[in-house]
Chains A and B, each alone.
Chain A
Amino acid sequence: MGLLSRKVTCNSHGQDSSYFLGWQEYEKNPYDEVKNPKGIIQMGLAENQLCFDLLESWLAKNPDAVSFKREEQSIFKELALFQDYHGLPAFKKALVDFMAEIRGNKVSFDTDHLVLTAGATSANETLMFCLAEKGDAILLPTPYYPGFDRDLKWRTGAAIVPIQCSSSNGFQITESALEAAYQEAQRKNLRVKGVLVTNPSNPLGTTMSRNELDLLVNFVTDKEIHLISDEIYSGTVFSSPAFVSIMEVLKDRKLENTQVWERVHVVYSLSKDLGLPGFRVGAIYSNDPIVVAAATKMSSFGLVSSQTQYLLSAMLSDKKFTKEYISKNHKRLQKRQNKLVSGLEKAGISCLESNAGLFCWVDMRHLLSSNTFEAEMELWKRIVYDVKLNISPGSSCHCTEPGWFRVCFANMSEDTLKLAMQRLKSFVSSITIDNQTHQDLKNMRKKNRTKWVFRLSFQSFHDREQGER
């Protein structure tokens, strides 16, 4: 039998990681308010389900956008045939206006620099194909979105070298961390091609400070490398500090006609802000015409359906709608995040202070049996199988400190979130007692008694597991 390529046998698609295994468990036993109230609640999916009513009401008022009509005339044939990789002009215009609106119109974008792709997944991979190849590395601050391991490395052959961030300063990027990552890449004989940041951050849920952005600009200027800013969550910034886009920083520092200008690229998508991941709408924005030209051609491998481009051109051209949507989206996300934060607080759990995203970066270090990733996995498994919440362990995001978890809050109803918090509270109470008992007994010298306690506390976990299968 003919062999398959190395891409098939390698593991760079990352699908064997715990991040995906949690999903599998959820699929086997998904929570449903009515049909399966004891099932696993999905809190590992960064979806925005809070504003569908706004989209639905817009659709009801604008039937032409889905019936292939423009001003009562059928444009079906025109759309069916439209496969120009430059994209539907009306859609690109609407999209750049939307991107500017999200940034408070502090910056503007030119449609000539925008390349449409089938989702940000495609955009990030395409950019990597343009900027890097085997033997090259891209620096990414940790913790980062697990999908990057696949998106940036799998088919491109490029490598990721982490910029280690820690809780000591709220996981912000520092100059020394940047430099250390650069050196690490050199030690590995990799040519550093650029830095990729997600701003607002996934999984942290925070916007990057102006200081961090300045640091980045200085760093990539000094090293003469690229900077990719994945701003997929830019429309989810619900409280201060306000979102500062990398483009705003370049503009404020008057760097438009300098070399670094052409090395900065932005990635965007409508999957998070608009809650439309199924529609596969992503974009690359670059100031380098060569990158734009190459990426445009590459987008042939992942174009956005013209049917979808048309629908969204109509929707995003409706400025009354976009204004209302952006504002309501912010308010609802803020309200929901507050509910999660206070619910966690009641369970004695704190999280990183956040102002964006669809998730919180939760600190469960105090619940670990030891300061190790093994203990983090142990805890995660108990939360998935015992508490029946699928949350994402920090190790899947390459976090250097064990005990952090990403918990999503916008992909479920308020009641479901409430229930999840109740379950968590009960769980924390129970293991606090267990740990306390364990601690007391440990202080006694009888090894056998200690073993007996261990067996007891993990017994319940196994029993429940057996029962539920």
Chain B
Amino acid sequence: MVIEIEKPSSVRLSKVAISKTHGEDSPYFAGWKAYDENPYDEVHNQSGVIQMGLAENQVSFDLLEKYLEEHHEASSWGKGAPGFRENALFQDYHGLKSFRQAMANFMEQIRGGKVKFDPDRIVLTAGATAANELLTFILADPGDALLVPTPYYPGFDRDLRWRTGVKIVPIHCNSSNNFQITPQALEAAYQSAESMDLKVRGILITNPSNPLGSTIQSSILNDILDFVVHKNIHLVSDEIYSGSTFSPSEFVSIAEILRNRNYKDAERVHIVYSLSKDLGLPGFRVGTIYSYNDDVVTTARRMSSFTLISSQTQHLLACMLSNHEFTQNYIKTNRERLNKRYDMIIQGLKKAGIECLKGNAGLFCWMNLSPLLNEPTRQGELELWNIILNQVKLNISPGSSCHCSEPGWFRVCFANMSEQTLRVALQRIHKFMEQRKVCSVNR
């Protein structure tokens, strides 16, 4: 039992400061702790915990390093640092024009040139984390709601709700139709919000999806857009994994849907992007908001003062992403390598008797372990997760941390380690599944 100790006199910190809405006390984070205490290392700690809960892209660093070796001016402002002063002083919240231009081009290339992006509609933020929070501040007031399809990225609980005071109402998706969003689910979520007296301000989708690792179909994107128009609300499309689609033709951006409709109703649509996943640069804090709404662009730009991208980093990436030869090769090669990794893990899991949702994007697969649960409940899932963490020594993300309504699903990352390490992980899974078969036979 926890005994609450009252702080003397007035409450000194804000409600936001002492709330738990940052979500960091969830069991999800306990997995990280276990990894931190006993991290796997190919050489020094072969029995350690393998981190498979971190959606990082480590498969294409060689391409980035090669670029940097051949283009010193990108990281050093050129010989004798001629651009240094100007760069060091540059804190304009419009962002470096050359960088915005390069970002717009890069986003176009990822979408196979099927749509165009206007650099003046790009607002820069320190990561997609900041972009999503910022958009929420702009689109909703405290106490309002955003609808988000489940399962979703656990970070949204903090990013969309914590300081904004906005609520998330889930759009429940399930395995009966591969977790696709349906008009019925949309309507149900909207009604649910209304019954709780919450004003719905918008829908936030992640496409390609985290944690599903799959793209949203055209027809569904059209359904969603019809829905937001009908309800007169906003649509945020977080396309952070757009460059991580294994085959370029399979990703359809909301921008394309809009273009097909001649940009009618575009002013309620906003796209979030970042270089953290496609380029593997989460440390550099590069996020963007692309909005078709002028008021949103203006306000987002002003708000971005709280979360500007280092001009040093903007300069580096402006150089890199303006290099057409580099970006073309990078996008193509990155896709191929991710595809290869995906095939490897799917085959490996299949051999172990484990099925996954059919995926076509992202840095992870959505694994179905429901047949292994002691009981088809969240508790059962957490028990299994604990076994996988402590016995198999793999840190994977339980579906409950992603608010999945069906227990037994897990997100497993495959791009944040070497191929060798992935093989070791698959071997461990195989062994674990073999042992379970033996155990169940002997019961």
Residues of A within 8 A of B (CB): 1-2, 4-8, 13, 15, 47, 49, 52, 55-56, 59-60, 63, 66-68, 74, 76-77, 79-83, 118-119, 121-122, 125, 129-133, 136, 150-151, 154-155, 191, 193, 224-226, 263, 271, 275-280, 290-291, 294, 297-298, 300-308, 311
With A67-B75, A130-B16, A290-B13 known as contacts, the answer to whether A280 contacts B308 (CB < 8 A) is yes
CA distance A306 to B309 in the complex (A): 11
Contact present for A308 and B312 (CB under 8 Å): yes
List the one stretch of B136-144, B211-219, B394-402 in contact with chain A.
Answer: B136-144
Whether B356 sits at the interface, judged by CB under 8 Å, is no
Whether B438 sits at the interface, judged by CB under 8 Å, is no
- Shortest C-beta distance, B134 to chain A (Å), equals 8
Whether B2 sits at the interface, judged by CB under 8 Å, is no
When the two chains form the complex, which single residue of B233, B267, B310 contacts A278, counting CB atoms closer than 8 Å?
Answer: B310
CA distance A55 to B312 in the complex (A): 14
When the two chains form the complex, which single residue of B12, B15, B141, B316 contacts A5, counting CB atoms closer than 8 Å?
Answer: B141
CA distance A155 to B268 in the complex (A): 22
Residues of B within 8 A of A (CB): 9-10, 12-18, 22, 24, 56, 58, 61, 64-65, 68, 72, 75-76, 80-81, 84-85, 87-91, 126-127, 129-130, 133, 137-141, 144, 158-159, 162-163, 201-202, 228, 232-234, 267-268, 276, 280-285, 295-296, 299, 302-303, 305-313, 316
Contact present for A56 and B81 (CB under 8 Å): yes
Contact present for A129 and B65 (CB under 8 Å): no
Contact present for B12 and A131 (CB under 8 Å): yes
Contact present for B309 and A305 (CB under 8 Å): yes
When the two chains form the complex, which single residue of A60, A133, A276, A304 contacts B15, counting CB atoms closer than 8 Å?
Answer: A133
Contact present for B295 and A280 (CB under 8 Å): no
Contact present for B312 and A301 (CB under 8 Å): no
Contact present for A277 and B284 (CB under 8 Å): no
CA distance A15 to B133 in the complex (A): 21
- What are 11 A-B residue pairs whose CB atoms fall within 8 Å in the complex? A5-B139, A8-B295, A59-B81, A83-B282, A129-B17, A155-B303, A275-B88, A277-B89, A306-B283, A306-B284, A307-B312
Nearest-CB residue, chain A, relative to B54: A81
Contact present for B61 and A77 (CB under 8 Å): yes
When the two chains form the complex, which single residue of A2, A7, A56 contacts B234, counting CB atoms closer than 8 Å?
Answer: A2
Contact present for A278 and B311 (CB under 8 Å): yes
With A81-B280, A224-B9, A278-B311 known as contacts, the answer to whether A59 contacts B127 (CB < 8 A) is no
CA distance A275 to B84 in the complex (A): 11
How many residue pairs at the A-B interface have CB separations less than 8 Å?
219
- Shortest C-beta distance, B296 to chain A (Å), equals 7
Nearest-CB residue, chain A, relative to B317: A307
CA distance A218 to B75 in the complex (A): 49
Contact present for B22 and A297 (CB under 8 Å): yes
Nearest-CB residue, chain B, relative to A295: B17
Contact present for A280 and B309 (CB under 8 Å): yes
Q: Which residues of A contact B68 (CB under 8 A)?
A: 67-68, 76
CA distance A280 to B125 in the complex (A): 12
Q: Which residues of A contact B267 (CB under 8 A)?
A: 1
Contact present for A125 and B306 (CB under 8 Å): yes
Contact present for B75 and A68 (CB under 8 Å): yes
CA distance A47 to B309 in the complex (A): 19
CA distance A49 to B84 in the complex (A): 12
Nearest-CB residue, chain A, relative to B129: A300
- Shortest C-beta distance, B69 to chain A (Å), equals 9
Contact present for A294 and B163 (CB under 8 Å): no
CA distance A2 to B285 in the complex (A): 30
Contact present for B127 and A303 (CB under 8 Å): yes
With A66-B76, A191-B10 known as contacts, the answer to whether A301 contacts B91 (CB < 8 A) is no
- Shortest C-beta distance, B143 to chain A (Å), equals 11
When the two chains form the complex, which single residue of B16, B81, B162, B280 contacts A60, counting CB atoms closer than 8 Å?
Answer: B81
Contact present for A130 and B13 (CB under 8 Å): yes
When the two chains form the complex, which single residue of A2, A15, A52, A263 contacts B233, counting CB atoms closer than 8 Å?
Answer: A2
- Shortest C-beta distance, B53 to chain A (Å), equals 14
Q: Which residues of B contact A263 (CB under 8 A)?
A: 12
When the two chains form the complex, which single residue of A52, A278, A300 contacts B312, counting CB atoms closer than 8 Å?
Answer: A278
When the two chains form the complex, which single residue of A80, A154, A278 contacts B90, counting CB atoms closer than 8 Å?
Answer: A278
Q: Which residues of B contact A132 (CB under 8 A)?
A: 14
With A52-B84, A76-B68 known as contacts, the answer to whether A305 contacts B283 (CB < 8 A) is yes
Nearest-CB residue, chain B, relative to A411: B89
Q: Which residues of B contact A119 (CB under 8 A)?
A: 91, 308
Contact present for B268 and A1 (CB under 8 Å): yes
Contact present for A7 and B313 (CB under 8 Å): no
- Shortest C-beta distance, B359 to chain A (Å), equals 23
Contact present for A279 and B302 (CB under 8 Å): no
Nearest-CB residue, chain B, relative to A119: B308
Contact present for A80 and B284 (CB under 8 Å): yes
CA distance A193 to B163 in the complex (A): 18
- Shortest C-beta distance, B47 to chain A (Å), equals 24
Q: Which residues of A contact B276 (CB under 8 A)?
A: 83
Q: Which residues of B contact A280 (CB under 8 A)?
A: 91, 126, 308-311
Contact present for B72 and A67 (CB under 8 Å): yes
Question: Which 4 A-B pairs give the minimum distances between C-beta atoms?
Answer: A278-B311, A306-B283, A305-B310, A82-B283
Contact present for A80 and B283 (CB under 8 Å): yes
CA distance A47 to B88 in the complex (A): 11
Nearest-CB residue, chain B, relative to A263: B12
Contact present for B130 and A301 (CB under 8 Å): yes
With A129-B17, A301-B126 known as contacts, the answer to whether A2 contacts B137 (CB < 8 A) is no
- Shortest C-beta distance, A384 to chain B (Å), equals 20
Contact present for A131 and B14 (CB under 8 Å): yes
Contact present for A13 and B75 (CB under 8 Å): no
Nearest-CB residue, chain B, relative to A84: B283
Q: Which residues of B contact A77 (CB under 8 A)?
A: 58, 61, 65
CA distance A290 to B13 in the complex (A): 9
Contact present for B282 and A80 (CB under 8 Å): yes
Q: Taking each of A66, A79, A304, which has the highest tally of chain B beta carbons within 10 Å of its own beta carbon?
A: A66
Nearest-CB residue, chain A, relative to B10: A224
When the two chains form the complex, which single residue of B61, B127, B130 contacts A76, counting CB atoms closer than 8 Å?
Answer: B61
Contact present for A226 and B12 (CB under 8 Å): yes
Q: Which residues of A contact B81 (CB under 8 A)?
A: 56, 59-60
